[in-house]
Structure 1
Amino acid sequence: MKIGQRRSKQRELILEELRGLTCHPTADELYELVRKRISNISLGTVYRNLELLAASGVILKLESGGKNRFDGTAEPHPHIRCTQCGRVDDVMQQVDVTTLDDKSSRGYDIKGCNIEYFGICPDCMSSSH
């Protein structure tokens, strides 16, 4: 982990827990998991470390949908979000994204692109029947 800060056992544990998940938890959800291993860790510590890891490109911060979610896989990849419960999963398919020409980019210096699909997850569909 290279993020321009000194090593931290708490940060390393937060990253380990996040990378061990297939879901994309909120900071609160990850805090509940980390607390099982470090009982005296604070929610603020989890938030600060997630923000630091995201800002340094070690993890992804998914900011759409009202609540920030975090992804231990830092390489850009598409996601799918449930519009009812907010669950986020990876899309396991390559998605082709065209680059914008100068006219289409409207003067922006393009840094990247996020692809997110949305729908209703299987759990929400089965609970509504």
Structure 2
Amino acid sequence: MIFFVYHLQTYSPKNRAWKKVIDYVEKYKYVLIKDELSLDALKHELCDVVNRINAEHPKMKRMQYTAEPIDNGRITRIEAHVISAGCPDTVFILDICKVRSIYQFNEQANVLEKEGGEQ
């Protein structure tokens, strides 16, 4: 099954750590993901990036990473946020959906339609 990153929302960075995460995650906007293994790898890669940047900036509040299905499992949402004063402050939201089908132009189909219409 193929997946597609159809929605990426980033929020104004409040510090250098957030900026690093946002700059990294923006390269995945509108990307096709070949299969479920690649989707799992992407989830782990983003988690590792968030954890690495947290480690590089130990004095700042830690970003928390989540990846979970939403909309009855049709969409996978990956997000990072910081809990500030009891409320989550979102860094980014990345929504990934399953590709239903792929359209490919085929001249043979058009030729057959013309031949079928003339008979």
TM-score, normalised via structure 2 length: 0.30
Higher relative contact order (CA 8 A, sep 6+): 2
From the two aligned structures, give the one with the greater helix fraction. Answer: 2
